Amino acid sequence: MTALRRQQAILAYALLLPAFVFLGIFTFYPMVRGLIASFHEWSVLAPPRYLGLDNFREALSDPYFKIAMTNSIKYLLIVPVIQVLSIALAVLVNREIPGVGFFRAAYYLPVVTPMVTVAITWGWIFDSSGVLNYILLSLGLIKEPISWLVNAKTALGSVMFVTMWKGLGYYMVMYLAGLQSIPKELEEAAVIDGANGWQVIRHVTMPLLRPSILICSTLSAMAALRVFDEVFVMTQGGPMGKTLVAGLYIYQQAFESYRFGYAAAVSLILGIVVMIFTVINFRAMSRGGLRYY
């Protein structure tokens, strides 16, 4: 290694050092401590006591944990919906038309709005005397108000809708970046060959957008499995545990029951589930398991 390359390497590592220190203190160290805690009975009332795999055995036999994991996996149903809608929005705003900048900003506004604010607002909308019931009653679509967040049949779907609504703009921007990286010459060549708008999207745009789809679907699946804020604010896991998700269950065990070791074990199980779904998604997309053309 020449002196110049050595100096460049030293400079590069020096610039990366603050990030490594930050990650080490706030990411890797808590991960290691959490892993250690998952094998212990640990609360603020007594010193840690080693339990081995007892926390994991308890979690796998806990009916509330099973409900929470089931609801978290159900949350994955919004992933394909949000991806399709985000792609459609990106295609719509990927045009040079008057006011397109306003629409892009409007669609992205929910992303920069704090989730607590969004959840409280939608909680008012979904209230039995809220705007949604008023509109549905005015249109004659329902005969009596529906308690969307209290009804066991509609609570989880209502919270999932809020998650989807808030995330649309984020993935739209990512897909918009992917669309703008596609050479216009390819789409123009397809049009010259006689392809209509749908055929261009199906045979040219979607295959070239595949890397963006892989990234967005993976991020969306990870976020769906780790959902917490909107459930905590809107339903607190009710009614009857119908909206209890893994993230909320971990919070309850750690900060309400003060079972930090058990909560760490559940977090580790959730992390493994997230990793499994991530690997499945990557393999399915990269090896042609999912085709868009």
* Structural domain includes residue 12: no
Count structural domains, the chain. 1
* Structural domain includes residue 116: yes
Per-residue pLDDT of 110-159, as tens digits, reads 999 999 999 999 999 999 999 999 999 999 999 999 999 999 999 999 99
Report the C-alpha gap between 219 and 83 in whole angstroms. 11
* Structural domain includes residue 169: yes
* Structural domain includes residue 213: yes
Q: How many Cα atoms occupy the beta-carbon half-sphere of 22 within 13 Å? A: 5
CB 149 within 8 A of CB 141: no
The pair phi, psi for residue 50, each rounded to 5°, is: -65, 130
Per-residue pLDDT of 145-201, as tens digits, reads 999 999 999 999 999 999 999 999 999 999 999 998 888 888 888 888 888 878 888
Report the C-alpha gap between 158 and 82 in whole angstroms. 15
* Structural domain includes residue 255: yes
* Structural domain includes residue 228: yes
Report the C-alpha gap between 82 and 216 in whole angstroms. 10
pLDDT of residue 2 exceeding 90, the answer is no
CB 260 within 8 A of CB 80: no
Tokens 């990234």 found at: 215
The residue among 201, 203, 205, 214 whose CA lies nearest residue 174 is 214
- Non-local (6+) Cβ contacts of 156 within 8 A are 71, 74, 242, 243
- Please name every residue paired with 49 in a beta bridge, in sequence order, or none if there are none: 41
Using left for φ > 0, alpha for ψ between -120 and 50, and beta otherwise, residue 149 falls in alpha
* Structural domain includes residue 148: yes
Alpha-carbon Rg for the chain in angstroms:
24
* CATH value at residue 244: 1.10.3720.10
Q: How far is CA 248 from CA 24, 157, 233, in A?
A: 26, 17, 10
Would the pTM count as exceeding 0.75?
Answer: yes
* Structural domain includes residue 29: no
The whole-number pLDDT of residue 9 equals 86
Residue 274: give the domain boundaries: 38-286
pLDDT of residue 293 exceeding 60, the answer is no
- Please name every residue paired with 46 in a beta bridge, in sequence order, or none if there are none: 43
CB 82 within 8 A of CB 165: no
